[in-house]
Amino acid sequence: MFVTFEGLDGSGKTTQAELLADALRAEGRDVVATREPGGTPLGEEVRRLLLEGMEMSRWAEAALFAAARAELVERVIAPALDAGKDVVSDRFVDSSLAYQGFARDLGIEEVYELNRVATRGLLPDVTFVLEVDPDTSAERVGQSPDRIEREGREFRQRILDGYRIVAGKYKERVVLLDGTRPPDELHEEIRGRLREHS
Ligand code: TMP
């Protein structure tokens, strides 16, 4: 099973990804937990460029995210799934669709096409999008937003709108959840949804 978590920074997705990976392991399942951008030596280098590096053009940004993702799929995610393991990822392709495709206005379809090629069409079985409003996100992230989320409130609102569009497009796969709910309650709901799915 391949499960991904999505949302604005400060949405609680990292906490939920960790809770799920721990719970699956406690059931004796073999789980590979990863994050994007990153998760491989090359991916971590690309992450630094993307989040702390110089300004770049929009398609260069989308292509770098796709490059990090290609590396992660080839070296980590696909081998794990082939070996029958579960993979839990903090972000995956839907981040690019919401951030680059919609918020940066490159086009959700166009950015999907780039990623479809880079990932050889791999999509998660289930994706949880944790929704928090742009102000809650900013409060939770505090004084140190990365290069991308430094863009401001309006941009973060566009990311949220992008995730809603993506959720509408992939109804069978993407679940929207209220990220302001208590973490343990959200975790239980996520477990329930996954049971329904399998
Ligand atoms: P993180 O804070 O969850 O590690 O994500 C890093 C930042 O990169 C975050 O601001 C979201 C952004 N991002 C994109 O813009 N496109 C992508 O495809 C991914 C994976 C992340």
Does the C-beta of 37 come closer than 6 Å to ligand 1? Answer: yes
Please tell me the predicted confidence (pLDDT) of residue 40.
96
Please tell me the predicted confidence (pLDDT) of residue 91.
98
CA distance 16 to 178: 12
Does the C-beta of 148 come closer than 6 Å to ligand 1? Answer: yes
What digits encode the pLDDT tens for the residues 99-120?
A: 999 999 999 999 999 999 999 9
Does the C-beta of 151 come closer than 6 Å to ligand 1? Answer: no
CA-proximal residue: ligand 1, atom 6 (nearest): 37
Q: What atom of ligand 1 comes closest to residue 93's alpha carbon?
A: 18
One-letter amino acid for residue 179 of the chain = G
Q: How far apart are the CA of 126 and the centre of ligand 1, in A?
A: 19
Please tell me the predicted confidence (pLDDT) of residue 98.
98
Does the C-beta of 65 come closer than 6 Å to ligand 1? Answer: yes
Q: Quote the tokens at residue 151.
A: 């863009």
Per DSSP (E only), the strands in 91-191 are: 126-131, 174-178
Mutate which of 11, 16, 36 for ligand 1 pocket (most atoms within 8 A of beta carbon)? 36
The CATH fold of domain 2-197: Rossmann fold (3.40.50)
CA distances from 195 to 1, 55, 172 (A): 11, 43, 15
Please tell me the predicted confidence (pLDDT) of residue 69.
98
One-letter amino acid for residue 72 of the chain = L
Please tell me the predicted confidence (pLDDT) of residue 39.
93
Q: By the 8 A CB rule, do 173 and 125 touch?
A: yes
Report the DSSP beta bridge partners of residue 53. none
Please tell me the predicted confidence (pLDDT) of residue 162.
98
Residue ranges, the chain, pLDDT below 50: none
Q: How far apart are the CA of 84 and the centre of ligand 1, in A?
A: 27
Q: Quote the tokens at residue 189.
A: 């709901």
Domain ranges of the chain: 2-197
CA distances from 190 to 49, 56, 93, 156, 166 (A): 33, 36, 20, 24, 19
